Amino acid sequence: MIRDRSRQSTISIAITCAFLFCVLSASLRITASEAANAASAKPPTVERLDNTLTLDNLVRGWLRIPTLEHSNVGLEIMEVPSGRVLYSFNGNRRYTPASTVKAITCACAYDTLGGAYTYKTTVIADGTFSGTTLNGNLVIVPSQNPTFGRGQLAGLIKDAIQATSRLTGSGTISDITGQIKIAPTGAGDMGFHQAWLVEDWGRHWMPVASNLVLDRNLGSPGELGDSYRVVDAANTHGSLFDTLLNSPDGPTWVNVDRSNHTALTYRPKHPQAPKQPSFAMSNPDEYNLALAELMVKRNGVRIGNQEIPPSANINQLAAHESKPLAEIIRTCLHESDNLYAQQLLRTIGATTLKTETAPAGKSTERNSSMSLEARGLIAMSKWLSKIGVNGQEVILFDGCGLCRKNAVSPHALDTVLKHMAGEKADGPYLGLLKQNDESSAGKGTYQFKTGTMESVRCIAGILKTAGNQKLAVTIMVNGHTPTIRNLRIAESALINQLRSIKQIGQAVPKDPVGSASDPNIVETTHEPIVVDHAAAKRTPKPVLKRPRATRKQR
């Protein structure tokens, strides 16, 4: 009896399972037209990558991950140095690039000026000497050097004063009847771009650019000495800036009025706002000129401050030469320094200034109302066109990427990187980018520049696969709502898969280590790829960083 009931129960379960199998099988059947529509539609969410990979299904699998579900994604994979595009997803569409713009600015500066280029900042005596008196002005000729600092300026002024002894014939100068001046560049001024957000004003991540930069144009008014009166401004007389100053993380800046010897400071009024040790200079050329005057006086020289026009008697007294441009660019790219990038843009613009001959045979720059930044952007546009970038794929308003109106396509970034890689795909510019080398783990390297701001995460660089093939890889994500941390992990996952590839885009040779039966090696015949999955799994877990409280780009 019990045995019969058990047999009946088993039969019932079998019938139920058979019925469910038939129902599921029927629900999974699709027509030929439905299959065609599914193939052409955007890929649905996928659980895992296929066992046999092509470049297409590898990238499509990544594009279907939940992290990217509501984001605007563009990416391109280009073979270097051939320039053959191996994969493109919205590759010619423009995206907000954030700090990946710096990769373009730095590449243009490097290609235009050369890695050995140096900035030369000089001090000249403009006038005649009567004994130990200079009847004229002491002029600082700036060079747009972003690395120049207070120590270098103090040394330069000291050397200049010592050098006057050969001109006076009776020792170093004791008096200057004129003023301490900064030589004009011959171009209009901009400094802080109107296309940036007002929230970026007075921030340490974006000081105002200038002809003469001292220590990233950050300062403390107390260093101006007793001759300057420091006044803590009650308000800015502007509701928008006053609102910013009433927030806990508001900006801090200082404005110098040399005519009245006054320094106005602006700082957050919120009780929880931290005390900032330094202020962003709102008019850095004026502030730095005030420091230069103080340095001259500390060398025992009196300044008459008379208005004396430029003369034909010009004598160079001292010069300071910066480290090579390649080292400056490395710092800009590694630290994603916005001021460095803007000064590089101004440097590019300065190369376009035309010159005319002064009466005394000295070269002087022709005046123009166009700013150095505007000149630099025009020069960069011409350079991009020269190297084969479609002008419709790049719209730039600055050199650092802080402006949200900037728009660049993945293909444009890949083309710039391909050009800088050179014919052998090993150009020296690539060595200035950040590098992640995991060749010891059976994978290749990735030399890259990132760009991050709110809802934007981009990365562009040159990737060397495990099979020593070079690829320009750019990933651009806009409109991203989840955390940047999750998106950083997602981008790293794709890059990790790509650099684990042993062969891509051509006939697959026999693997020298693995075998056809090796489960870690996947071989296909269509767009063949050989991926070492064992190496891919050896990737260290990413370091999860807390989100920054500020809007500073990285």
Structure confidence by residue, pLDDT tens digits, 40-78: 334 333 333 333 568 888 898 999 998 898 899 999 999
Give the total residue count for the chain. 554
Give the architecture (CATH level 2) of 55-113+374-537. Answer: 3-Layer(aba) Sandwich (3.40)
How far apart, in Å, are the Cα atoms of 242 and each of 161, 195, 236, 251, 270? 44, 20, 6, 10, 11
DSSP string, 372-417: HHHHHHHHHHHHHHHTT--GGGEE-S-SSS--TT-EE-HHHHHHHH
Question: Any idea what DSSP says for residue 54?
Answer: B
Q: What is the mean pLDDT of residues 265-276?
A: 85
Axis-axis angle for helices 372-386, 338-350 (nearest 10): 80
How confident is the model at residue 467, as a pLDDT?
87
User: What gap in Å lies between CA 501 and CA 535, rounded to an integer?
Assistant: 10
How confident is the model at residue 551, as a pLDDT?
45
How confident is the model at residue 394, as a pLDDT?
98
Is residue 365 helix, strand or coil? strand
Amino acid identity of 141? V
pLDDT one-digit tens code per residue, 76-89: 999 999 999 999 99
pLDDT one-digit tens code per residue, 124-147: 999 999 999 999 999 999 999 999
Between 212 and 550, the higher pLDDT residue: 212
Torsion of CA 379, 382, 386, 389, to 10 degrees: 110
Kindly state the tokens that stand for 424: 């052998």
Q: What is the mean pLDDT of residues 500-522?
A: 51
How far apart, in Å, are the Cα atoms of 30 and each of 21, 26, 34, 35, 40? 16, 9, 6, 6, 15
How confident is the model at residue 271, as a pLDDT?
84
How far apart, in Å, are the Cα atoms of 227 and each of 80, 221, 336, 475? 60, 11, 37, 54
Between 439 and 499, the higher pLDDT residue: 499
pLDDT at 301 over 70: yes
Q: What is the mean pLDDT of residues 184-208?
A: 83
pLDDT band at 366 (very low <50, low <70, confident <90, very high): low
pLDDT at 102 over 90: yes
pLDDT at 358 over 50: no
How confident is the model at residue 14, as a pLDDT?
53
Tell me what percent of the residues of the chain surpass a pLDDT of 70: 78
Question: Any idea what DSSP says for residue 539?
Answer: P
How confident is the model at residue 503, as a pLDDT?
78
Start-to-end CA distance of the chain, whole Å, equals 77
Q: What is the mean pLDDT of residues 337-351?
A: 97
Sequence spans of domains, the chain:
55-113+374-537, 120-322
pLDDT band at 194 (very low <50, low <70, confident <90, very high): confident
Q: What is the per-residue burial (b if ≥16 Cβ within 10 Å, else e) of 439-476?
A: eebbbbbbbbbbbbbebbbbbbbbbbbbbebbbbbbbb
pLDDT at 16 over 60: no
User: What gap in Å lies between CA 195 and CA 161, rounded to an integer?
Assistant: 42
How confident is the model at residue 296, as a pLDDT?
97
pLDDT one-digit tens code per residue, 372-390: 999 999 999 999 999 999 9
DSSP string, 290-344: HHHHHHHHHTT-EE--------S-EEEEEEEEPPPHHHHHHHHHHHT-HHHHHHH
Between 13 and 76, the higher pLDDT residue: 76
How confident is the model at residue 273, as a pLDDT?
81
How far apart, in Å, are the Cα atoms of 479 and each of 22, 93, 400, 455, 497? 44, 14, 20, 5, 24
Please name the residue that has the structure tokens 């035309």: 354
Tell me what percent of the residues of the chain surpass a pLDDT of 90: 59
Tell which phi-psi region holds residue 127, choosing left (phi > 0), alpha (psi between -120 and 50) or beta. Answer: left
Average pLDDT, the chain: 83
Question: Any idea what DSSP says for residue 93?
Answer: S
CB-based contact 396:416 (threshold 8 Å): no
pLDDT band at 369 (very low <50, low <70, confident <90, very high): confident
CB-based contact 86:504 (threshold 8 Å): yes
For the chain, how big is the Rg over CA atoms in Å?
31
pLDDT at 240 over 90: no
DSSP string, 151-172: HHHHHHHHHHHHHTHHHHSSSS
